Amino acid sequence: MSKFGSYLKTKDFRRTIILAILSVIVVTLIAFYSLGIYTRHDSAIPVPKIIGMQVDKALSLLKDQGFGVSIDSVYVLDQAPGTVIEQDPDAGTSVKENRVIYLKIVKNQAPNVALPDIIDAPYISATATLSNAGLKIGDTTYKPDIARDHVLEVHFAGQPITAGTKIPKGSKVDLVLGDGAGAAEVDIPDVTNQDLDAAKFAIKGAGLAVGTITYQGTITDSTSLIVVAQMPMPTDSATKTSIGTRINLMVTQGKKTQ
C-alpha cells in the first residue's frame, strides 16, 4: 500500500489522470458534433404550401425541393379532379430533406350512390335527403296532384328512376312535383263518336289524362278508330271531375258519324 500511495503522489499518475480526462472530453465532443452532422440539424427546410394546387404542379415542386411524396385520393363534390386538398406535414413546418410529404387529392371518377326513396316526400325534405346522399336537384316540373310540392317522380338523364337506382355521386336529378290542384274540378268532355286522336286531344285539353284504351271487335286500321264508350261519362248528376283524372276509352273500327 505504501508503494501505491507513493505512486498516487507522483507526476506520472497526475499526468495519466489528466490525459484520461482530456480523452473523455475529446471523445464526447467528437460524438456530439458527429451526431449533429449525421442528423443534419442545420439542413431542415420548410414545407411549401401545396393545398389547392393541381397534383402535377405539387409533385414537381416537392421533388425539386428534395421531398418524397405519398398520395391518397378521395372524391369530393365541387372540387376539380387532381386538386390537392390535404397535406401532412402542414405548410411552413421545418423538416429534413427527403422527408415524405403525404398528400390527399380529388380523384376523377365519382363513386355510385343509391337514389334514396323520396317519392311522396315534401320538396324541402327531399332536398335535404338528396344532399345527404351526395346528389343535386336539377329541373323541377309540376303536374296536377292534390299533394302540393310533394315528389311524384324522379328523373335522371331524361328517364324515370326508382329508389335504389345507382347513379354517380354529384349527379343532378329532376323532380316532378304536385301542383296542389288535384282537388280542382273540370268539366268531363263527351268524346264518344269522336276519332281517337280527336278524343285524346279533347281529354288533355280539359286538364285530364287518357287512361286505358280497350279495343272492341277486329281492328284492321289503327288510323280509323272511333270512341264508342268512355269512363267516366258526363251525366246529369256528374258533369265534373278532378284535374288529372284518367278517362278510359273503348274504341272500335269505323268512322265518326254525323
pLDDT, tens digit, for every residue of 71-86? 888 877 777 888 998 9
Residue range 227-253: average pLDDT?
89
Contact 115, 159 (CB under 8 A): no
**Lowest mean pLDDT across 25-29, 31-35, 104-108, 248-252:** 31-35
Bridge partners of 92, per DSSP, are none
What is the rounded end-to-end Cα distance, in angstroms, of the chain?
Answer: 152
> Whole-model pTM?
0.43
Measuring CA to CA, which residue among 214, 190, 185, 211 is closest to residue 202? 190
Kindly tell me if the per-residue pLDDT of 16 is higher than 70: yes
Residue range 240-244: average pLDDT?
83
pLDDT, tens digit, for every residue of 31-85? 766 665 555 555 678 889 999 899 899 899 988 888 889 988 887 777 788 899 8
Residue whose entry in the numeric block shows the C-alpha cell 323541377: 140
Kindly tell me if the per-residue pLDDT of 7 is higher than 60: no
- Give the span between the Cα atoms of 164 and 183, in whole angstroms: 31
**For the chain, where are the E strands, in sequence order?**
45-46, 68-74, 84-88, 94-95, 100-106, 112-114, 136-143, 151-156, 159-160, 166-168, 172-178, 185-187, 209-216, 225-231, 240-242, 246-253
Residue range 106-130: average pLDDT?
91
Reduced to 3 states (helix: H, G, I; strand: E, B; else coil), residue 162 is coil
